Amino acid sequence: VFHSSAMDNSCRKLIFNIYIGFYCSAIILPQMCICSYFSTPSIDQFNKDAGTFPVATNGQPFPWHELRLPTVVTPLHYDLFVHPNLTSLDFVASEKIEVLVRDATQFIILHSTDLEITNATLQSEEDVRYRKPGKKLTVLSYPAHQQIALLVPEKLMADLRYYVTIDFQAKLADGFEGFYKSTYRTLGGETRTIAVTDFEPTQARMAFPCFDEPLFKASFSIKIRRESRHIALSNMPKVKTIELEGGLLEDHFETTVKMSTYLVAYIVCDFNSVSGTSSSGVKVSVYASPDKWSQTHYALEASLKLLDFYENYFDINYPLPKLDLVAIPDFESGAMENWGLITYRETSLLFDPKTSSVSDKLWVTKVVAHELAHQWFGNLVTMEWWNDIWLNEGFATYMELISANATYPELELDNYFLDLCFEVIKRDSLNSSRPISNQVETPTQIKEMFDTVSYKKGACILNMLKDFLSEEKFQKGIINYLKKFSYGNAKNDDLWSSLSNSCLEGDFTSGGFCYSDSKTTSNTLAFLEENMEVKEMMTTWTLQKGIPLVVVKQEGRSLRLQQERFLSGVFKEDPEWRALQERYLWHIPLTYSTSSSDAIHRHILKSKTDTLDLPEKTSWVKFNVDSNGYYIVHYEGHGWDQLITQLNQNHTLLRPKDRIGLIHDAFQLVSAGRLTLDKALDLTRYLQHETNIPALLKGLEYLETFYHMMDRRNISDVTENLKHYFLRYFKPVIDTQSWSDEGSVWDRMLRSVLLKLACYLNHAPCIRKATQLFSQWMESGGKLNIPTDVLKIVYSVGAQTTAGWNYLLKQYELSVSGAEKNKILYALSTSKHEEKLMKLIELGMEGKVIKTQDLAALLHAIARNPEGQQLAWNFVRENWTELLKKFGLGSFPMRMIISGTTAHFSSKDELQEVKLFFEFLKAQGSHLDVFQIVLETISKNIKWLEKNLPTLRTWLLASI
Ligand code: BES
Ligand code: ZN
């Protein structure tokens, strides 16, 4: 099943070689065709069976019926000319594509969406040499597959090059895809328009007809015509500007390296920039709209540092002469790694010292690090097909950790990394999860691949592998991989072989393999074994969904180990549990330490059960050292009690990340019905003595989650008691927080979290201080600088009065800091007044004061507010069609809107409502993976409450 894509490809090629493409694809199922059709009807079959082909818009048969393009014709180079008009909001363009014909054919299929093609011609190399005009091509279009077919008058010959010229035009798109318009307001109140591209994964075809699949790499020479008040940017530096009659200018950009279409980019805007030069001589610039220019400096500093880091780490220089980072006022995702021209949402790039908090800084650093990593992982080496998008996104996410830890060690990003793994575990422990590598075909399915599984599980299993192989070997392996596949494409297996074949100092290579000095033959064997081991191990993580649970039982000096599939919300005693376990088996690189030895012991668990013998009897064992492994551990018998005792006696004997891991695993096991809630809560009691901030935050997070769950359901006795518990146990640390930006990164994080929670719980001193700061701020006309880490808290407290709320909304309109606007919008969304919340939604739908790009986050924030949850949910149901028009079905905002307004529900009635709505959508032909994820999450919540509410009640009563 997992390898069917490779098979499909080779079969498609086979079919084409023998010219039965039309016949097969139109008449028999392609699969059957592959197996059973070996005679070779001529291409004229097309005419005979015309009626059975897909029908093009003009009524003629369309000669191709698959979503994937044929590989008979491949692009080598694109000359692209684009002239956008920012007043009439449209563009005219033309392109000349140099293609190589691999097998004789009578048509060329390429992608094109919503482009009006005004002319298409074809020249042979000879025509070009003798300057003969092109022959006119018939253009058919088949919008269902976003394809066009160019029919040639005479057959194209194998192994020859041809030039296809296409003239086309279109409106600048309204949304966030293709070549679209974006607007911003200046400080003077003027609205200005820019034009910008965003192509990944399948939107280059909205901007120019092209072979829009990642495997079709080509070079691009781009020319942009513009007015003199604008500048034009593209992937490469400008070679020259030509002045045209009438005052228009035309920028010509250098030819790109070989690259995939989704990485092409161009922008016409009036932005300003700051620049610097990296150690290797790359010119790095950060662009923003003129009023935001002053917020670009941190990103420049970070990108210069990170670029230097990556060039060293990958041992490959960044191949382009320049790198631009641009803050786009309207942007759907967080950022996009276009080669040499990275585009960002403003809040992912700009840093305003007055309003950006420490967590904003962390975010900017992470996003810059992520997109820079893509310049190698993704741009230089690209996955063959979207089924392996994790090779891009998982790696870029993993590299955020490596690069930011090296360049900004003070951010202590590895603590953040743990959370990233914990987050995807939530999703991966539902039955509706999916394997990291997943078959996909349609644009919606492809978009759905950009999810936490690709990003976070991808990153976490890479981190686990690094821990298994050693840092040095891992790095060598990815260098091999990048060098071997530069300017090309790769798949999972290519990565595994590179990683298991990394040469260390003193080794030598031959035939792409790695040998140590002596004993070549035996080393070859060792290599082969190791290669198999890595590949075998890693495919259990990439081709299989879910996360394993390792159950450990200590019997004297013996440890009995057992692995099963971890499922939250399904208990072992449930009838469906057994079936859900079937055929799951992982190769788990276990690590552990014990009370008598803090050395890291290793063992690979490849079977369902196994036994380990300890050298001596120990009072506890802790598996998954530093939480580097992607598995959950359950200690049967007295295992948990022994660990809890140790935490209470002297928690520092366990490493900080082990303490965090224990807290995490314990609460996960509660969701799976394997540990009682009071046991997990007992484990957190030691936190009174915890000085490691990330560990403290982890414990707080669970208390907060429970609080929100109870608050939404109005279970007021429990919320009251949780509040007392929190304010009592954390009083010493709450009371010592200052309202400032002082301290280390994690001191500052703790302050934000603690004060936010304290004010949320109406802790009087917190409210008093916040109210005081808010009034001072209002009195100063918004000029007073409030410490950035408490800004959101102060605004949120201020937003509880009508005067405060109205004032904040006014400031929202005026602010030129995206970081501040986000904080204000959040504060506005915490109001208890439905009419105010409704007003926000209306503004978000209108898209002027509150931009459409912020609507998904707004709806999510309102749904988190107990007073807003019903409102947001009803709104989404009633305005589904409107929302769908703004964001595509599989898009990130749409998925966020769905899960953000539903996944917190925890009653049967709510589950029923959500189910009905999803069924209604499915009947309309809308289907998303997120539907099933949401339904399972709600069921899990219901079950959690049923099982644990009484325990929580009793435990709290006993504890306060
Ligand atoms: N390649 C993605 C952008 C993208 C996202 C394209 C979704 C198509 C669909 C980019 O590298 C990315 O991952 N952006 C993240 C930010 C990142 C720091 C996690 C995003 O947009 O959320
Ligand atoms: Zn990415």
Q: How many CA atoms lie within 13 A of 185 on its CB side?
A: 15
Q: With a cut of 90, say whether residue 784 has pLDDT above it.
A: yes
CATH 1.10.3720.10 for the 54-270 domain, yes or no? no
Whether 756 lines ligand 1, by a CB cut-off of 6 Å, is no
Quickly state the pLDDT bin for 556 (edges 50, 70, 90): confident
Amino acid at 630: Y
In the three-class reduction of DSSP (H, G, I as helix; E, B as strand; rest coil), residue 487 is classed as: coil
Above 50 in pLDDT, residue 10?
no
**Rounded CA gap, 624 and 662, in Å?**
10
Residue 150's identity, in one-letter code, is L
> Is 371 in the active site?
yes
Query: Distance between CA 501 and CA 492 in Å, rounded?
Result: 15
Position 524 confidence tier, pLDDT thresholds 50, 70, 90:
low
Q: Which residue lies with its CA nearest to atom 22 of ligand 1? A: 334
- Backbone φ and ψ for 254, nearest 5 degrees, come out as -60, 155
- Diameter of the chain measured on Cα atoms: 92
- Supply the mean pLDDT for the chain: 92
- Pair type for strands 547-555 and 632-635: parallel
Section 345-373 average pLDDT: 97
Q: Which is more confidently placed, 619 or 598?
A: 619
Residue 2: both structure tokens together: 């997992």
Q: Which helix (H) or strand (E) holds 252?
A: strand 249-253
pLDDT of 30 over the 50 cut: no
How many C-beta atoms surround the C-beta of residue 330 within 10 A?
Answer: 21
Q: Which entry of 371, 448, 690, 704 is annotated as an active-site residue?
A: 371
Q: Is the pTM of this model over 0.95?
A: no
Mean pLDDT for 789-806 is: 98
* Topology annotation, domain 382-505+527-543: Neutral Protease; domain 2 (1.10.390)
Question: pLDDT tens-digit profile of 444-457?
Answer: 999 999 999 999 99
Q: Tell me the CB-side half-sphere exposure of residue 520, using CA atoms within 13 A.
A: 5
Fold match flag (54-270 vs 271-380): no
CA 210 to mean position of chain CA atoms: 25
Could you tell me the residue ranges of all domains in the chain? 54-270, 271-380, 382-505+527-543, 546-674
Query: With 70 as the cut, is the pLDDT of residue 112 above it?
Result: yes
- Contact 367 CB / ligand 1 (< 6 Å): yes
Is pLDDT above 80 for 826? yes
**Which residues, at least 6 apart from 103, have a Cβ–Cβ distance to it below 8 Å?**
16, 17, 72, 158
- Mean pLDDT over 587-597 rounds to 94
Of the CATH numbers 1.10.390.10, 3.40.50.12280, 3.40.50.720, 1.10.3720.10, which one belongs to the domain with range 271-380? 1.10.390.10
Mean pLDDT of 862-881: 97
Which residues partner with 166 through β-bridges? 95, 120
Distances 284 to 237, 299, 408 between C-alpha atoms, Å: 11, 10, 19
State the pLDDT at residue 414.
Answer: 86
Ligand of minimum distance to the alpha carbon of 337: 1
> Is the dihedral angle over the CA atoms 50, 51, 57, 60 positive or is it negative?
positive
Q: Best substitution site from 200, 206, 336 to test ligand 1's pocket, by max atoms within 8 Å of Cβ?
A: 336
Confidence at residue 281, expressed as pLDDT on a 0 to 100 scale: 97
Give the per-residue pLDDT at 532.
75
- DSSP secondary structure, 86-106, as one string: TTTTEEEEEEEEEEEESS-EE
Which residue's CA lies nearest to atom 2 of ligand 1? 336
Q: pLDDT tens, 186-216?
A: 999 999 999 999 999 999 999 999 999 999 9
Contacts of 217 (CB under 8 A, 6+ apart): 258, 259, 260, 382, 487, 488, 489
Q: Is the CB of 374 under 6 A from ligand 1?
A: yes
946 is in an annotated binding site: no
- 12, pLDDT greater than 70: no
Closest CA to 739 of 767, 781, 701, 780: 767
Specify the CATH class of 546-674 in words: mainly beta
Predicted pLDDT of residue 534: 92
Across the range 829-842, mean pLDDT stands at 98
Ligand nearest to the CA of 338: 1
Distance 257 CA to ligand 2 centre (A): 20
- Measured in Å, residue 377 CA sits from the centre of ligand 2 at 9
Instruction: Kindly state the average pLDDT of the residues 467-490.
Output: 96
